[in-house]
């Protein structure tokens, strides 16, 4: 819808990559974006009324903003404006199955599930980042399939671009993981893989910080090949990726880990670096035979160690793997393809309006 306005609603993080990518793609499609950040999420509709916020053509509630969704839906319904909800995750799934805060049959868990069902049902369109996540939303929240569209995450292509293979000068192959050291990512699996590793010399580098960092450092205290690096500013990540030979994805065994393709995988492929990550139904089946990405079973450090040893044992093939990784990104995850998915989702929404 060229020359139309979308009201970006909520107390969102403007620097988060999903938000930055979607906002750019919406602008590419001709949407004008206006922001509304309510002082209190639960009463955002009242604030919008008092401030006489101009009525847009579309209301957008971005990722992780379940707290804003109910008020946004009420305001959108009053003004007969469709609302898109891009949750990225389920708060119920995160609290119950990822963090284990409540048992699934706990009344508090059931209450959270029912609350989230109402939030999802109030949206005219719900976005999912993968087909596996779409299937989860449909089953968990009883949604009509026509109201859930897949729009992959991708990478910010102005930052994450293919770079030449690293000049190793016959030194050790460098393996890089970066992340927030949470259970979904399985950083302990990486450290254990480094312990079990039996192959040509490699350097394992783990960058970032988070709740499992301390445990990982203790686990690796006697491993000279494992080093930890502090978190980098976001715009410095592409250079750090380019200074590695092989990137690592995630290795957690949770159902959620199987439903997502993490940012780091998109970013590494966009930079032309081959990736080893856990097998998951979130990935296109065609990638199983690619030289640019290798899949290992979740939570199996021995399999990860063997996969790294296989690649490190053929350093002359790393350049070809880099090109294969870039090709995967271009063919399956490029912004052009994501823009088309977004355009198609919004076209369905307008048609059904």
pLDDT of residue 301: 98
Q: Are residues 317 and 347 in the same domain?
A: no
The C-alpha atoms of residue 165 and residue 158 are separated, in whole angstroms, by 19
- Mean pLDDT score, 315-338: 96
pLDDT of residue 288: 87
pLDDT of residue 2: 56
Question: Residue 165 domain-assigned?
Answer: no
Q: Are residues 128 and 183 in the same domain?
A: no
Q: Are residues 144 and 230 in the same domain?
A: no
Question: Residue 108 domain-assigned?
Answer: yes
Q: Are residues 78 and 150 in the same domain?
A: yes
Instruction: Give the pLDDT band of residue 289 (cuts 50, 70, 90).
Output: confident
Question: Residue 161 domain-assigned?
Answer: no
Q: What digits encode the pLDDT tens for the residues 165-187?
A: 988 777 899 999 999 999 999 99
Question: Residue 110 domain-assigned?
Answer: yes
Contact 154, 335 (CB under 8 A): yes
pLDDT greater than 60 at residue 353: no
Q: What digits encode the pLDDT tens for the residues 213-250?
A: 999 999 999 999 999 999 999 999 999 999 999 999 99
**In the chain, % of residues over pLDDT 90:** 92
pLDDT of residue 350: 63
Q: Are residues 149 and 191 in the same domain?
A: no
- Mean pLDDT score, 337-348: 93
Question: Residue 168 domain-assigned?
Answer: no
Question: Residue 27 domain-assigned?
Answer: yes
pLDDT of residue 352: 42
Q: What digits encode the pLDDT tens for the residues 9-52?
A: 999 999 999 999 999 999 999 999 999 999 999 999 999 999 99
pLDDT greater than 80 at residue 351: no
Q: Are residues 180 and 325 in the same domain?
A: yes
Question: Residue 160 domain-assigned?
Answer: no
Which secondary-structure segment (H or E) carries 107? helix 107-122
Q: What is the number of structural domains in the chain?
A: 2
* Degrees to nearest 5, angle at CA 256 with 267 and 98: 115
For strand 31-36 and strand 58-61, is the pairing parallel, antiparallel, or unpaired? Answer: unpaired
Residue ranges with strand state E in the chain: 4-9, 31-36, 58-61, 83-85, 125-128, 148-150, 173-179, 202-208, 226-229, 246-248, 275-278, 293-296
Q: Are residues 94 and 127 in the same domain?
A: yes
Q: Are residues 11 and 142 in the same domain?
A: yes
Per DSSP, 172 falls in state: P
Print the domain residue range for 135. 4-154+334-352
Q: Are residues 279 and 150 in the same domain?
A: no
Q: Are residues 65 and 181 in the same domain?
A: no
User: How many other C-beta atoms are found inside a 10 Å radius of the C-beta of residue 11?
Assistant: 16
Q: Are residues 259 and 226 in the same domain?
A: yes
Question: Residue 162 domain-assigned?
Answer: no
Q: What digits encode the pLDDT tens for the residues 43-82?
A: 999 999 999 999 999 999 999 999 999 999 999 999 999 9
Q: What digits encode the pLDDT tens for the residues 140-166?
A: 999 999 999 999 999 999 999 999 998
Q: Are residues 342 and 285 in the same domain?
A: no
CATH code for the domain in which residue 130 is found: 3.40.50.2000
Contact 161, 140 (CB under 8 A): no
């Amino acid at each position: 819808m060229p020359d139309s306005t979308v009201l970006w609603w909520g107390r969102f993080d403007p620097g988060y990559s999903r938000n930055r990518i979607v906002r750019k793609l919406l602008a590419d499609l001709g949407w004008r974006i206006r922001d509304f950040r309510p002082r209190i999420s639960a009463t955002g509709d009242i604030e919008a009324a008092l401030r006489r916020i101009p009525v847009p053509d579309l209301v957008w509630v971005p990722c992780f903003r379940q707290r804003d969704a109910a008020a946004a839906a009420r305001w959108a319904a009053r003004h007969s404006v469709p609302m898109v909800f891009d949750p990225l995750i389920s708060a119920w799934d995160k609290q119950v199955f990822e963090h284990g805060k409540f048992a699934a049959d706990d009344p508090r868990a059931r209450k959270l599930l029912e609350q989230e069902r109402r939030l999802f049902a109030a949206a005219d369109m719900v976005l999912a980042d993968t087909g596996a996540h779409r299937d989860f939303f449909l089953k968990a929240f009883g949604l009509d399939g026509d109201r859930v569209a897949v729009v992959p995450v991708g990478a910010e292509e102005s930052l994450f671009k293919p770079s030449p293979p690293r000049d190793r000068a016959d030194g050790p192959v460098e393996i890089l993981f970066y992340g927030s050291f949470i259970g979904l990512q399985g950083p302990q699996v990486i450290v254990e893989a480094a312990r079990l590793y039996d192959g040509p010399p490699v350097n394992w580098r783990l960058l970032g910080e988070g709740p499992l960092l301390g445990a990982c450092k203790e686990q690796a205290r006697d491993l000279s090949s494992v080093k930890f690096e502090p978190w980098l500013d976001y715009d410095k990540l592409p250079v750090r990726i380019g200074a590695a030979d092989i990137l690592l994805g995630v290795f957690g065994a949770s159902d959620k880990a199987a439903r997502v393709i993490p940012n780091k995988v998109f970013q590494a492929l966009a930079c032309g670096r081959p990736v080893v990550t856990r097998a998951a139904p979130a990935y296109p089946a065609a990638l199983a035979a690619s030289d640019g990405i290798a899949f290992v079973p979740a939570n199996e450090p021995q399999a990860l160690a063997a996969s790294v040893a296989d690649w490190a044992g053929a350093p002359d093939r790393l350049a070809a793997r880099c090109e294969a990784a870039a090709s995967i990104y271009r063919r399956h995850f490029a912004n052009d393809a994501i823009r088309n998915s977004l355009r198609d989702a919004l076209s369905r929404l307008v048609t059904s309006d």
